[in-house]
Amino acid sequence: MANVAKKVSWSGRDRDEEDEPPAAGEATPLLNGASPGAAGGPPHSRPITHSPFLRLGKLSSVDLNDDETEATNQFPSEIPHNEKLLLLKYESLDYDNCENQLFLEEERRINHTAFRTVEIKRWVICAMIGILTGLVACFIDIVVEKLAGLKFRVVKDNIDKFTEKGGLSFSLLLWAILNSSVVMVGSVIVAFIEPVAAGSGIPQIKCYLNGVKIPHVVRLKTLMIKVCGVILSVVGGLAVGKEGPMIHSGAVIAAGISQGRSTSLKRDFKIFEYFRRDTEKRDFVSAGAAAGVSAAFGAPVGGVLFSLEEGASFWNQFLTWRIFFASMISTFTLNSILSFYHGNPWDLSSPGLINFGRFDSEKLGYTFQEIPIFIVMGVVGGILGAIFNALNYWLTMFRIRYIHRPCLQVIEAMLVAAVTAAVGFVMIYCSSDCQPLQGDSVAYPLQLFCADGEYNSMATAFFNTPEKSVVSLFHNPPGSYNPMTLGMFTLMYFFLACWTYGLTVSAGVFIPSLLIGAAWGRLFGISLAYLTSGAIWADPGKYALMGAAAQLGGIVRMTLSLTVIMMEATGNVTYGFPIMLALMTAKIVGDYFVEGLYDMHIQLQSVPFLHWEAPVTSHSLTAREVMSAPVTCLRRIEKVGTVVDILSDTSSNHNGFPVVESSPDPTQVGQTTGRPAASPAPGPWAAEVAGLRGLILRSQLIVLLKHKVFVERANLTLVQRRLKLKDFRDAYPRFPPIQSIHVSQDERECMMDLTEFMNPSPYTVPQEASLPRVFKLFRALGLRHLVVVDNHNEVVGLVTRKDLARYRLGKEGLEELSLAQT
């Protein structure tokens, strides 16, 4: 009920602000007309000079809502960030091809063989994506190994020195300072240069593939920051992994290569121009994400399935096969380079960044009796995952609200790094679990208070990169850890990992989750053997693997791809069934409490994300209630001045404009009929008959304005070059803002003919269509604008992504999110 009241009140106060200039900082930009699929400009109080047409539109839009009382004015227009918002800055991608005349002409000109070439080019690009992703993964792996090795050696020497002499607090300080200074660098580059590179990048890629344009997400700069950031945060000893960011890196590489140019570097290689549009780019980005997974875990099939499960909203067989190709190439590249690096060329034994090592299936088979145990482990994983997510939710909310300044974010990251070191040190210091040194089983054996020739077992878990810790938990022989050590480690690492995820550093959550799960799984295995006094001969490594799977499943809630990734990473198909069981149970149990971590973060970022289906209880809503109205329309032959004014109106920063038939009245605007009597509108609404002719995008209009494609000019200079599709592609994906385009006073009087450039066949729905139907059309075709028309093909409203995404199934039923601006 409360939400309804709010909704009403917001529409009520609209007019008051229009009438009197609002107080400083209180400005609420009006959404004049429809199409909120648009970036919000700066708050804007009142248009200064406008053509009569625009004034008209503005008034009418205000009049629409003037039936509200004044009593609800006090409702604040500024609210603290919460999870029930959609941010205006997120735009949609144009996955639907704009089938205008230029496009059709070009497609007609391309003959059969040319299409073949395009197809071959696609394969070449996929191969390049795979190779480059593999190379980036190699680079990260080698640099992390070198730097982390250096750091651990320095700290170890220091600890060894001070163990004899006393003064271990200096070692602690050294460790903490080393960690936090490395993390500081990593955090500074992320916070100040490219904030979108923070986190694992999987939520962002998920959004991108869902059709949301996250600003800067696939830029070269982001890739650079991401790679350096990951290296620094892993070396800085945070509880993070380098696997998640590989997915983002792969996606950026794919988006970059497929365009054949870099806008950041201002280099255009004049290749792959055909792919310069959102539709094609999306396919390559999903290939890149798959290649990233494949490089991270050595799991090519898992990568493809990851793209399928998490990302791709649009899918077909050819694409799948190409994506698989890219994944395979990626893991092969990584494998061959690393084999050279490790000094055994052509051995090809390290397919991924993390290698879980070989689980010997003969020794570590599982029996029928163990299946219930695995299910119980799944339940534990689900519950722990839900706790993890819930804690992280509160923390993230706090961070968004209070720690939004870059310097604060850097300080926070540094503090976490220091605390991670301190906790690790104290744990190692307090632990009395000593194990005899055996050959080369431990990378950095810390002796500390153990007898000579023994090492501290806690140190293998804390004093190591998380990847190595996971592998040692899987494979160290039974008895390498005592239960106390494992218990303390799980507890501490759980909170550290939960605290770390969401910091302004680029880092993934895969490895920490695996590590937590492996630790409690091993503990589980040990206690099982203890409780049954050896009746169940439990190899703790097997239970560590199951625990890791269950924990990861409980946190990220992936099922299909995760099962396959785990299977491929362990190289053991026998474990497929138990892993699947554990993951399934973890997901079911976890979903009962809270959402998965990635979905949660998408929601907290206020991204208009479209799920697979419309909310189940939304059948009673129709397009009429969902759509935005009234719509700012353009006429087929429009005055330049009008177009410029509409485009530069910051309060209605729309991206799509329905094109209607020209009418004799030059001040005509769309949206006329079909308004119910219940909503009185005394505004000057001319009953204009304006049939829908097409849809034109802001980007197209800007290109037209830039090239000054005016009717008058065409008549004056007959030799003027015709605008080609290439001109639009060259401007893609960063179209200049309208402010940068100069239009002289004379030119404002010219006319523009949009017929050639508009999409003459936009998708439309009648007003009566139900929300699920609209949703399905929108989601399946990847639309950006969906025009709602009445019986006479007149524009009534426009449905955009945010109109659909605002309905969400909450705890108490259908909820409606509100739009907000930063």
Positions in 292-351 near another protein (CB under 8 A): 342-343
Element (H, E) at 172: helix 168-188
Site string for another protein, 495-524 (x = CB under 8 A): ------------------------------
Least CB distance to another protein at residue 70 (A): 16
Q: Distances from the Cα of 425 to the Cαs of 408, 452, 453, 743, in angstroms?
A: 25, 20, 20, 66
Shortest separation between residue 633's beta carbon and another protein, angstroms:
14
Report the residue from 112, 368, 452, 791 that binds another protein according to the rule CB under 8 A.
452
Instruction: Identify the residue whose tokens are 């973890």.
Output: 586
Contact call for residue 678 and another protein (CB under 8 A): yes
Compose the 87-106 pattern: x for residues touching another protein by CB under 8 A, - for all others. Answer: xx------------------
Q: What is the DSSP string of 702-719?
A: HHHHHTT--HHHHHH-TT
Q: What is the closest distance, in whole angstroms, from the C-beta atom of residue 453 to another protein in the complex?
A: 4
Per CB under 8 A, does 750 bind another protein? no
Tally the C-alpha atoms within 13 A of residue 350's C-alpha that lie toward its C-beta. 18
Q: Which is nearer to another protein, 520 or 609 (CB)?
A: 609
Q: For 722, which DSSP code?
A: P
59 is an interface residue for another protein by CB under 8 A: no
Given the rule CB under 8 A, which of 238-246, 279-287, 469-477, 671-679 is the region that contacts another protein? Answer: 671-679
* Distance in Å, CB of 366 to another protein, minimum: 29
**Euclidean distance between CA atoms 190 and 228, whole angstroms:** 9
Give the DSSP H/E element, type plus range, for residue 16: helix 2-19
* 4 sits near another protein (criterion: CB under 8 A): yes
Cis peptide before 630 (omega within 30 of 0): yes
Q: Which of residues 17-46 bind another protein (CB under 8 A)?
A: 27-34, 36, 40, 43
> What's the 3-state SS for 391-417?
HHHHHHHHHHHHCCCHHHHHHHHHHHH
Shortest Å, Cβ 423 to another protein: 8
Q: Could you give the 3-state DSSP secondary structure of residue 27?
A: coil
- In angstroms, what is the minimal distance from the CB of 142 to another protein? 12
First to last CA, the chain: 26
Neighbours of 678 (CB within 10 A): 6
With 0-12 / 13-18 / 19 or more C-beta atoms within 10 angstroms meaning exposed / middle / buried, residue 25 is exposed
Nearer to another protein, 521 or 670 (CB): 670
How many whole angstroms from its chain centre is CA 130?
A: 21
Among 39, 51, 61, 158, binds another protein (CB under 8 A): 61
Shortest spacing between CB 250 and another protein, in angstroms: 28
Other beta carbons within 10 angstroms of residue 663's beta carbon come to: 15
- H/E stretch holding 788 reads strand 785-789
**Shortest Å distance, C-beta 819 to another protein:** 4
Count residues contacting another protein (CB under 8 A)?
A: 98
Q: In the complex, what is the shortest distance from the CB of residue 778 to another protein, in angstroms, rounded to a whole number?
A: 17
Burial class of 741 by CB neighbour count within 10 A (0 to 12, 13 to 18, 19+): middle
Nearer CB in complex with another protein: 287/458 = 458
Options 369, 439, 533, 719; binder of another protein; rule CB under 8 A: 439
Q: Where are the beta strands (DSSP E) in 611-691?
A: 634-635, 637-639, 656-660
Residue 436 near another protein by CB under 8 A: yes
Least distance CB 409 / another protein (angstroms) = 10
Residue 126: name the closest of 320, 301, 284 by CA.
Answer: 284
412 in contact with another protein (CB under 8 A): yes
CA distance 332 to 39: 41
Q: Is the peptide bond before 733 cis (omega within 30 degrees of 0)?
A: yes
Query: Is residue 627 part of the contact set for another protein (CB under 8 A)?
Result: yes
Among 648, 663, 720, 818, binds another protein (CB under 8 A): 818
Does 624 contact another protein by CB under 8 A?
yes
Whole-angstrom Cα distance, residue 563 to residue 580?
6
Site for another protein in 782-801 (CB under 8 A): 797
Site for another protein in 162-181 (CB under 8 A): 163-169, 172-173, 176
Query: Hey, which residues does 637 pair with through a beta bridge?
Result: 753
Where in 105-164 is the site for another protein (CB under 8 A)?
Answer: 163-164
Q: Which of 49, 71, 109, 440 binds another protein (CB under 8 A)?
A: 440
β 634-635/656-660 pair status: parallel
What tokens were used for 119? 């197809």
Cβ atoms of 292 and 286 within 8 Å: the answer is no
- Establish if 813 lies at the interface with another protein (CB under 8 A): yes
Are 800 and 35 within 8 A, CB to CB? yes
From CA 305, how far away is CA 307, in angstroms rounded?
Answer: 5
Give the range of 45-53, 146-154, 299-307, 625-633 binding another protein by CB under 8 A. 625-633
Residue 26 C-beta: closest distance to another protein, Å? 8
For residues 206 and 204, give the distance between their C-alpha atoms in angstroms, rounded to a whole number. Answer: 5
453-492: which residues touch another protein (CB under 8 A)? 453
Q: Please state the closest distance from residue 596 (CB atom) to another protein, in A.
A: 24
The smaller minimum CB distance to another protein, of residues 95 and 152, is found at: 152
Residue 400 binds another protein, judged by CB under 8 A: yes
3-class DSSP assignment, residue 440: coil
Q: Which of 218, 426, 477, 688 binds another protein (CB under 8 A)?
A: 426
Instruction: For another protein, give the closer residue by CB, 77 or 262.
Output: 77
Residues 551, 510: Cα–Cα separation, whole Å: 10
Considering only residues 545 through 574, tell me which ones interact with another protein, judged by CB under 8 A: none
Site for another protein in 580-619 (CB under 8 A): 606, 617
Task: Report whether 239 contacts 512 (CB < 8 A).
Answer: yes
Q: Is 26 helix (H, G, I), strand (E, B) or coil?
A: coil
What is the C-alpha separation between 256 and 265, in angstroms, rounded? 11
**In the complex, what is the shortest distance from the CB of residue 794 to another protein, in angstroms, rounded to a whole number?**
14
Nearest residue (CB) to another protein, 65 versus 720:
65
Shortest CB 173 distance to another protein, Å = 6
How many residues appear in the chain? 822
Judged by beta carbon, residue 586 or residue 669, the one nearer another protein is 669
Which is closer to another protein, CB of 22 or CB of 760?
22
- The span of 407-415, 568-576, 734-742, 752-760 binding another protein (CB under 8 A) equals 407-415
Rounded least distance, CB 436 to another protein, Å: 8
Question: Closest distance between another protein and the C-beta of residue 319, in Å?
Answer: 35
